Every structure is written in structure tokens, then in C-alpha cells.
Amino acid sequence: MPDLLDLPPELLLLIAENSEAHDISSLCQCSRALYSLLTSTLYKRAITTSSDSGYRYLLHCTIHDNLPAFIQLLTHGADPTSGGSYLGQLLRSNYMNVPKSKNLYDMLYAYVDTRDRTTLLHLASCTGSSRVLSHLLTLPAFDPYMLDSSSGSPIERAAVAYQFDSACVLLDAMTSKSSPFYHNFTMDQLHQAFIWAADSDDTAIISELFSRRFTDPHDPRVLLSWDTNILAQALYSAVYGQRTGSVEILLAHDADPDSCPGLVHPLIIAASHGSIEIVRMLLEKGVDPDVLCQETGSDNGTALVVAARLAARLLSLCRLDIDAEGKYRYESESEENFYLARGDEENSILRFWKVATVLVEAGADIAWAKFLLDKDLKEELDGRKQKAMEFLDSLERKYRSKCPIEGLLNP
């Protein structure tokens, strides 16, 4: 019986041209000879029969960084600009079967919407598809400065999604003197990406941004530097998000905590989160431990007052009192286990005690904190002010006696 491969190539091509795309795909998988012969027909049929000029296939190749198939689709007429509004619909229907192991689906769902200005360039940036991203930047329709429907640039999307390789590809395209996009480069185009990276604690991208030397396209002899206000804003975001790694790098590159935006100082924010390491780093940078909160309507408290208030809140929640020796006693063992956070320091009084101790060791004034706390009448309604005062009294006694932190609370 004659084999299919015994037919002349002209007949095989004629059969393929009158078959559906999935049938041609099956034939291509039968042998290398059929694959070589029918691949071009397969791509043409897939593109001409799709309602989006092959955009869904380009999308699939972009997500999986399949550059050879991506180039084949473009060669056979797929349009990479045709499906902006279609992109979000495909992702929401999970048509692309994005692998959960890469956590791509949740990320794409968060950053891709159904409006027309979402592009494959942004998609490649936030999925880490660096090979497809590099190729897209060679096409006339794409450049590294274009904005998506949320006014985000590709490098911002890479920074948010922790995609270091994508960020490097985009940085090279924007800042390399041999790049066709270099003449449009300004530092402003990196500022938001820098802040996003700090907020996401993407220390790799932050370090990369600091390590590069940026020059003025109009005068390459002029080196461009980071705006001090941008450094301060990035530091504020990192402190607020408890991004210890980002805070460390930013402080090492002279970000000024005292120049941060907002009326609540980063030290007070760190104390309110119980971020002991960040509190310590800010104090080592020279921040005044008694810096006041300037927020309108606030009690103008210091970081030490904040730590005392939060400890007092836990004291009132777990019906816990401070005895004459400054130790805590509980009404039940279960409360002790929960609120002293054995294995869970996240919600413990010990956490804020450590913050308070670091502040006092750096020179925070306990008497000044008591004075500020005493001015606050709102705390009197539920008794927390008294407990906060007891907390500061206990701190003062223990600090003067030089007891180790680990021995401050009953085991």
C-alpha cells in the first residue's frame, strides 16, 4: 500500500492547503519531511483563519519566549499590533494556559487590561521573555518608551514583575550610544521604574540602575545623576513596604530619609510596622530618634511614642498587665503563647519593645516621649494611654538596669 510520503510534494501541499490548521499540525508531527514541507502552509493557514491576524499565536509565543515560532509568524504575515484589546480577553479566559509554576497568570491578570494600548512589548517585559522582547525592539512599531493603557512604560512593567533580564534589555536599548532609541533618553524615563523596583524590593534591578553610567544624548560628556527627590521617594516607598533590602541599598547610595515626601517621617513609619532592622539602619544614617510626626491632626508623636502606643494596644487586647518589676503577667497561658508570639514575633509586644530599645539606645528621650503621650487625651477613653505610660516606665527601668532584651518578658 502506498505511503503518504510517496505522494509528490505538490499533492501534499495541495492536501494541506485544503485542510484545517489542526489537521496540518498533525501532519507536521508525523515526520521531519512533512514538518519541513508543510510548516509554512501551517503558519499561513493559522494566520488567515484567525480573527485577529494571528495575534493570539504571537501572544502565546511571547508568554513562553518562543522566538523561532514568533519570527515564523511575523514572516507569514501575523500582525503584532492588531490585538491590543484582545489581549486581556484571552488572558481572562485562560485561553493561553499560562503555566502556574511561573506565576505568570496572576501577574498578567493584574497588569494587563482590555484596552487598546496594551502591547506585546509590555507583555514580554513583565513575563521575562527577553528574547522576544529584544526582537520586538527591532520592529518599527515598538520602542522602549511607549506607554500602555495604564501609562506604564515597559521598564516599569519589568521592575514591578521582578524581571531583571527584561530590565537589562530595555536599559541597553534606552541608554546604549549605538541604540536607535538613545537620542530620546532622559533620566525621567527611569524614575518611576526605580520607585517601583524599590517598592517591590527588587534589589537586583535597583543595583543594576545604580551601577550604570548614564550620559546626556545631546552631550555624551555629561553624566546624568539620580534626582535626590526620586531617591527620597523610593526610600519612602521601601520603608512603607518594609523592604529591608531596598532600604539598605538606597541608604548606601545617600538617599536622604529627612527629605522623604509626606509628613510622617520614615523612622516613625518603620517603628509603627515594628521593622527593627529598618529602624536601626535609619538611626545609623543619622536620623534624629526624637523626630516628630508633622501630619495634620496627629499627636506629633515620636517613633518611641508610636512603639509604646502599639504595645499598649496589644496589652489591652490580651488583658495583660505590667507588674512592679516591669514584667508582664497574663490571665491565661494561651494568651501568653499568642501575644508573646513564640514563633510569631509579627504581633508581639516583644517586637515593639525591641524597636523602643533600639530607639533609646540611639538617644531617644523617654521623658520627652512621656510628655508627648501625656498631651494626648484620645487614648484615655480605653485606658491605652495608661498602659503606654506603663510600657515606657518599664522600658526606663529595664534600660537603666542594662538587662538583656531577651529577659524583658516572662518566658
Q: What is the CATH number of the domain that holds 65?
A: 1.25.40.20
Q: Which residue has the higher pLDDT, 61 or 148?
A: 61
161/19: higher pLDDT: 161
Number of H helices, E strands in the chain: 22, 4
Closest listed residue to residue 166, CA positions, set 175, 174, 157: 157
Q: Name the residue with cell 533590602.
A: 245
Domain of residue 11, residue span: 1-49
Whether 244 maps to a domain, the answer reads no
Residues 61 and 157 reside in one and the same domain: yes
Whose grid coordinates read 485562560? Answer: 94
In a domain, 90, yes or no: yes
Distance between CA atoms of 345 and 67, rounded to whole angstroms? 48
To the nearest whole percent, how much of the chain has pLDDT over 70? 74
Q: Considering its fold, how many domains does the chain have in total?
A: 3
CA dist list (Å): 180 to 46, 71, 176, 189, 266:
33, 21, 9, 16, 41
pLDDT value at 146 more than 60: yes
pLDDT at 35: 72
pLDDT for 243 beyond 90: yes
Residue 164 has a pLDDT of: 92
Residue 332 falls inside a structural domain: yes
Lowest mean pLDDT among 95-99, 145-149, 274-278: 95-99
Q: Identify whether residues 296 and 390 lie together within a single domain.
A: yes
Least confident interval from 2-6, 321-325, 365-369 = 321-325
Per-residue confidence at 32, pLDDT binned at 50, 70, 90? confident
Q: How far apart are CA 205 and CA 166, in angstroms?
A: 10
Identify the residue with better confidence: 388 or 187: 187
pLDDT in tens, 175-207: 888 888 888 888 888 998 999 899 988 899 999
Please check whether residues 24 and 70 belong to one and the same domain. no
- 402 shares a domain with 309: yes
Contact 340, 348 (CB under 8 A): yes
Examine residue 302 and state whether it is found in any structural domain, yes or no: yes
Domain for residue 225, yes or no? no
pLDDT in tens, 320-346: 455 444 455 544 444 444 444 433 444
- For residue 101, name the pLDDT band (cuts at 50, 70, 90): very low
- For residue 204, the model assigns a pLDDT of 92
Q: Are residues 379 and 363 in the same domain?
A: yes
Q: Are residues 376 and 321 part of one domain?
A: yes
* Stronger pLDDT, 257 or 324, i.e. the higher one: 257
SS3 label, residue 258: helix
Query: Average pLDDT in the 91-120 region?
Result: 48
Q: Domain for residue 206, yes or no?
A: no
**Residue 89: what pLDDT?**
54
**pTM assigned to the model:** 0.75
Would you say residue 57 lies in a domain? yes
Provide the pLDDT for residue 20.
76
Task: Dig out the grid coordinates for 302 from the structure.
Answer: 515620636
In a shared domain, residues 23 and 44 = yes
Domain boundary residue among 31, 49, 67? 49
Same domain, 43 and 116: no
Q: Does 356 have pLDDT greater than 50?
A: yes
Q: Which amino acid is at 361?
A: E
Q: Are 379 and 309 in contact (CB under 8 A)?
A: yes
With respect to residue 150, please indicate whether it lies within any of the assigned structural domains: yes
Do 61 and 171 lie in one domain? The reply is: yes
pLDDT at 134: 95
Band of pLDDT at residue 315, cut at 50, 70 and 90: low
